[in-house]
Chain A
């Protein structure tokens, strides 16, 4: 692994959104177009730069690539100091999530151009500033290779999202913003304690060093039971991530945040912020605490499966479209968590794939709901019906996104779901039982998604208000087209995505699998 202190492309991608803040500061509040297009420009450049990352990425290498490491803080004894470093780099896992982030943020920005609520409440400069700040922090979360740096970015993401919900949200926005903030911070504090314990015992906060140490035994977090040192460390990280995912039953903040957030906020929340939780599970919990992960896996998987069914069932009973999509996230991310804790190649790759897919599909659903909301100012399904007849193009795209979210073969959702089910079925720590229940979620997904589609788009166009809805603006089409392309492309040609993460996941599975076998043999003599 080459790690230098020289400027890496990763750093450039990371800081591009932040650089975008500089021209934004010098723009006047009334220069609306300039503010918008500057922001969009920088997010698009960031996306282009992240594609360069992909182009330069070697899928056959499992270790970090394009890494950059500079010492940031040193403290403690001079002979064995504690070092916190600015350490960024990408592997297959990070790369895909970075690309997903830089893909979704420009769409969220573009969709904000025509958002009513921003025109109403004003402070556009602040809004787009927060968008850029958020993108910076989110990329930071995915590229940080130092536990402390990761934690910094992790917490920074809360600030812009807190204000996005709190200032530009719906009626109950302050309540939702506070709840979102407190809930996540409460989880994160446990992780901070875990990070401190790990860093102080290992004398390093750098992930590659930690993982190598755990692998060759120089760093040892003793594992003798679920609540031994390693078990508790696992839990401290797990709870923080579980809140973010959210894993059932820690999902109570999600419907509030989603329903109150402005459209772009929901898109980023569902598309990227939730993935920080599942990313954390794969990046930190699994490699640092392999034995604990394997031992806790069945328990986590039970929560995941409950989440899959519970989220879907609750989703079915919603009348508010945004709430329906919000709860569907609980169900979909249950699949991701199940895949991750299958602890095998198929499960983890499926989980990562599904993270990306969920970002695209659910992000797309929130965008669509947002577009309806802009036209009718309600999210109640009962207010719609026959929308296909009023907006045929919109209806067709909605159908595609709905089917993608349901996991129709040939579209992106199926690729991830199928791989996850394959993984959990063959998992040595889980087993077929989990898969049987998880597949129920696939049926339930069809139930609640088709119910929404039928109520909103099908049937007669019987409500007077719906008869003269303005057709899609070109900006709205421009937002939806990339989503449509991504849905079909990943559905038909997922191989490049799998190839990108193959080596990374392979190494992770080899590392965790060993521990899993040990645990399994201990449990069943």
Chain B
């Protein structure tokens, strides 16, 4: 189908059916289409809105499909196509922007969520943005590295959140089966402050405002969750530190040595995103595990069974150690223990444009400071402040300087609403208009059943009545009777029976056949 031919000059032309395009443009278009596909699968802007909603599925499904494996297919596909992306500068730049801005925006939204799984969902989108941005700057190895480490600690966090939700649900049942207490502590607070959406609202075991103080009640879940959080926040020496650092370092190097503007943009946006990441994760730790229980459900929560905690321990182990599969050289001699650039060396055989990134101490230190700073910030806001406990509101919401930003993040930047208004509702409205008005009222009822059918009947009536009876009868009196006779016969044709019409059609056909055959027959004689 695609015939390539050498043109005069250097640009090769590629033939697509009737269209002929230069090779560079074609690669650009192909990679761009791949990007759209990857954006859908790996939940990137503008196609990320499905992922938080898909979290309605059971937690193990979220852990497996929506965090660790399926969603990374887009990143994998682009890395597979690295040969094409390597030659597509413009698309690569777009990929960088898409990835980095997704990382930033999803990280921002995650800071304003109350649903424990929703935070993780937006976090997943954000981390996928890191990987996509890495592909954009040509850091295919770093993208795959982050894909692997992220799979472990994000699966851990999802399963940990499942354990928390499980504990809260059981605590809720336990608290209510004891009788007497119709309301839990949180509901009472809500009633006091006329917080309308807690009145008669069913108890939400995923709402972090209903949690708190789970640290002592669910120690294994707590500690593994902390491991996952530190890994995700990129704190040394957890897995996320190594992979995130490699993406940041590669972005910086791309900007420095390849004069790639995208590299600097990615570095800047991803550093901010890394801060967001550490902040929303520690906010979770504080809201879920630290402090005092805010509901009876949380108060009655117990550690989950080994069936749930053993996977957490396994994944916790890997969240700490999986980063060492790709240890860079020159960091505390760690590469002597774990081997240098293991993953990158292994991938080199199949990813043609992979390059092994060197450790950048400055970048790593900067990222580490940002991460730790964000954690301390989150602790200072959520840790010692009891505003959340007392008012059922987020401390950021309560402060005037951050209220607007929090509201925006909490409303998920109105992204879903905007899509609903721009795409969903117009699509439905056009559909109903096409179906009811254009196709049915106009085309079916008016054109076919009224104009064509009635018109057909009306012409028949016209021929039968005014024409025959009126005009001809009036002009020639003598022929009038004949005309009447004809019109009487003629009107009888309008019986409304198909068989009559079919016969008249048949007669017409016979006449046409005779007319066509006549010259032939006369010729033959």
Interface residues in chain A, defined as those with a beta carbon under 8 Å from any beta carbon in chain B = 76-77, 82, 162, 177-179, 181-182, 185, 189, 192-193, 196-197, 200, 249, 252, 255-256, 310, 313-314, 316-318, 327, 346, 422, 425-432, 520, 524
A196 touches B516 (CB 8 A): yes
> Residues of A contacting B523 with CB < 8 Å?
77
Most buried by B among A77, A177, A422: A77
Q: Tell me if B476 counts as interface (CB < 8 A to partner A).
A: no
Which residues of B lie under 8 Å from residue A82 when comparing CB positions?
A: 520
Question: With A185-B505, A189-B505, A252-B448 known to touch, is A317 a contact of B524 (CB < 8 Å)?
Answer: no
Which residue on chain A has the smallest CB distance to residue B444? A252
Known contacts A181-B498, A200-B516, A252-B444: A318-B435 contact under CB 8 Å: yes
Q: How many interface residues does chain B have, given as a range?
A: 20 to 34
CB distance from A297 to the nearest CB of B (A): 11
> Contact at A314–B19, with CB atoms within 8 Å?
no
User: Given the complex, which residues of B lie within 8 Å of A192, measured CB to CB?
Assistant: 509
Contact of A314 among B1, B434, B501 (CB under 8 A): B434
From A177, A318, A520, residue with most partner B Cβ within 10 Å: A318
> Which B residues lie within 8 Å of A524 (CB)?
18
Chain B residues near A197 (CB-CB < 8 A): 516
Q: A182-B501, A317-B428, A431-B18 known; 5 other A-B pairs, CB under 8 Å?
A: A181-B502, A200-B520, A252-B448, A431-B17, A520-B18
CA distance in complex: A252, B444 (Å): 6
Bound complex: CA of A317 vs CA of B523, how far in Å?
59
Q: Contact between A314 and B516 (Cβ–Cβ < 8 Å)?
A: no
**In the bound complex, do residue A317 and residue B444 qualify as a contact, i.e. CB atoms below 8 Å apart?**
no
Residue B512, interface by CB 8 Å: yes
Within 8 A of A (CB), among B422-454: 428, 430-432, 434-436, 439, 443-444, 447-448
Q: Is the CB of B16 within 8 A of A425?
A: yes
Instruction: Pick from B443, B508, B521: contact of A76, CB below 8 A.
Output: B521
For B430, give the chain A residue with the smallest CB separation: A313
A426 x B435 contact (CB < 8 A): no
Q: Quick check: B434 and A249 within 8 Å, CB to CB? A: no
CB distance from B427 to the nearest CB of A (A): 8
Asked if residues B17 and A252 are in contact (CB atoms below 8 Å), the reply is no
22 contacts between A and B (CB under 8 A): A76-B520, A77-B520, A178-B498, A189-B509, A192-B509, A193-B512, A200-B517, A200-B520, A252-B443, A255-B444, A313-B430, A313-B434, A313-B435, A327-B435, A425-B1, A426-B1, A426-B16, A428-B18, A430-B17, A431-B16, A431-B19, A524-B18
Neighbouring A residues of B19 by C-beta, 8 Å: 431-432
A489 to B517, CA, bound (A): 51
**Complex-state Cα separation, A177 to B447, whole angstroms:** 18
Q: Once bound together, how far apart are the Cα atoms of A182 and B452, in whole Å?
A: 12
CB within 8 Å of A: which B505-525 residues: 505, 508-509, 512-513, 516-517, 520-521, 523-524
B339 CB → nearest A CB, Å: 40
Cα-based distance from A363 to B428 in the complex (angstroms): 27
In the complex, chain A residues whose CB is within 8 Å of the CB of B524 = 76-77
CB distance from B14 to the nearest CB of A (A): 12
From A189, A193, A310, A430, contact of B434 by CB (8 A): A310
A317: B residues at CB distance < 8 A? 428, 431-432, 434-436
Instruction: Verify A432–B430 contact, CB threshold 8 A.
Output: no
Chain B residues numbered 468-497 whose CB sits less than 8 Å from any CB in chain A: none
CB distance from A273 to the nearest CB of B (A): 17
A432:B431 contact, CB within 8 angstroms: no
CA distance A193 to B509 in the complex (A): 8
- Assembly CA distance A422 to B505 (angstroms): 43
Nearest chain B CB to A143 CB, angstrom units = 24
**B502 neighbours in A (Cβ, 8 Å):** 181, 185
User: Which residues of chain A have C-beta atoms less than 8 A from B520's C-beta?
Assistant: 76-77, 82, 200
| Chain A residues closer than 8 Å to B512, beta-carbon distance | 193, 196
Closest 9 pairs between A and B when the two form their complex, measured CB to CB: A317-B435, A426-B1, A317-B431, A77-B524, A314-B435, A431-B18, A316-B431, A317-B432, A431-B17
Complex-state Cα separation, A432 to B2, whole angstroms: 12
Chain A's nearest CB lies how many Å from the CB of B27?
A: 15
Chain A residue at smallest Cβ distance from B523: A77
Bound-complex Cα distance A126 to B18 (A): 54
Closest to A255 in B: B444
List B contacts of A255 (CB < 8 A).
444
Cβ A427 vs Cβ B17 within 8 A: yes
Inter-chain contact B431/A314, CB cutoff 8 Å: yes
A192 to B516 alpha-carbon distance, docked (Å): 12
Q: How far is the CA of A426 from the CA of B498 in the complex (A)?
A: 46
Q: Nearest Cβ distance between residue A248 and chain B, in whole angstroms?
A: 10
Question: When each residue 1-32 of chain B gets 1 if its CB lies under 8 Å from chain A and 0 otherwise, what string results?
Answer: 11000000000000011110000000000000
Residues in chain B near residue A76, CB distance under 8 A = 520-521, 524
Please tell me if the beta carbons of A249 and B443 are within 8 angstroms of each other in the complex.
Answer: yes
- In the complex, chain B residues whose CB is within 8 Å of the CB of A200: 516-517, 520
Specify the chain A residue showing the minimal Cβ separation from B447: A252
Q: Which residues of B contact A327 (CB under 8 A)?
A: 435
User: How far is A179 from B18 in the complex, measured between Cα atoms in Å?
Assistant: 41
Interface centre among A314, A429, A430 (most CB of B within 10 A): A314
Q: How far is the CB of B452 from chain A (nearest CB, A)?
A: 10
Q: Tell me, rounded to whole Å, the shortest Cβ–Cβ distance linking B301 to chain A.
A: 29
**Residue from B17, B19, B509, B523 having most chain A Cβ neighbours under 10 A:** B17
- Give chain A residues whose Cβ lies under 8 Å from the Cβ of B447: 252
Give the distance in Å from the alpha carbon of A313 to the alpha carbon of B428 in the complex.
Answer: 9
